[in-house]
Amino acid sequence: MTTTTAPRALRVRAPGASTRGLRPWLYLLPAAAVLVPLLGYPIYMLGLLSVFDYRQAQVSGGQPTRFIGLENYARLVSDGRFWQVLGQTVLFAAALVVATLAVGAALAVVLARAGRVPRLLLSLAAMAAWAAPAVTGSTVWMFLFDADLGLVNQVLGIEGYNWFYDKWMAFGIVGATVVWHSFPFVMVTLYAGIQAIPGSVLEAAALDGAGAWQTFWKVMVPILRPLITIVVIQSVIWDFKIFTQIYVMTSGGGIAGQNTVLNVYAYQTAFGSSEYGLGSAIGVVMTLILLVVTLFYIRALYRSGEKL
């Protein structure tokens, strides 16, 4: 007695199916070949120095480098000054993000409603602010608020008033400089999103009796929410690691360090006090915080790509 078995179904693979999953990774190889050595090695050295007692004596070769594990991080946790600067940095960055978003969104609406010539002039002015180097822009703003020759004092009729003497006034001027540098990104991004909104949607809102503010808040904002999420997270990354404007305009953190932010604090600890290991630990903490924010940024990009 013989038995027969049914032939197994043949699996037919589409041409190139085996390499289809690898194709996106192959496209990323050129960028990875540049970014991994360029960014990976400094991050590795930053983490390595943070677990060593590495000061000027070790740099000059007078004493051997000593492994201390997480001792630098323990010093940070127990350092009240570190927590003060961290809280000050978070509050300052949050204020900058809100101000940048408000200015950028308002000018994006103006840009969408303006005529051709005003739109061109506003775009050129915004791009000039965007293209200006941070050091150059900071120097110009410092000159505007100079105690003796500043235009602001001359216009207000004030003689010899130092705007950077007060902590919050100094933060306000530095914040205005940062917003001046940052708002063009928000403005252009949201303007592109506004231009992509169908005209029929805006016409329907007008027929329903919605005013300009209601149209923006109840129609535009929900449609632009993915873009708003992206620019907010991007602004958080930029503003949290601010260094140049604070360091230049307040001469390294202001009077008695009253305007110090985390990036300036890390620089002062590493190069001012020659505690390179402790300064590296501060850098690692900043990197981890920004890494978490970056993950939210990537997630927002992915979600916005799904909705578009």
Burial of 302 from C-beta contacts in 10 A (0-12 / 13-18 / 19+): exposed
Note whether 192 and 140 are within 8 A (CB): no
Model-level pTM? 0.82
Name all domains of the chain by residue range, CATH numbers in brackets. 90-270+283-307 (1.10.3720.10)
Q: Please give the average per-residue pLDDT across 194-223, as a whole number.
A: 80
d(CA 251, CA 254): 6
- Report the sign of the C-alpha dihedral through residues 114, 120, 124, 125, in that order: negative
Binned at pLDDT 50, 70 and 90, residue 13 comes out as: low
112-152 tens-digit pLDDT:
888 889 889 998 999 888 888 999 999 999 999 998 888 99
Which residues, other chains included, contact 171 with Cβ-Cβ below 8 Å and sequence gap of 6+?
92, 259
The residue type of 63 is Q
Structure tokens at 93: 């960055």
Please tell me the predicted confidence (pLDDT) of residue 16: 54
pLDDT at 5 over 60: no
Specify whether the backbone of 300 is left (phi greater than 0), alpha (psi in -120 to 50) or beta.
Answer: alpha
Binned at pLDDT 50, 70 and 90, residue 19 comes out as: low
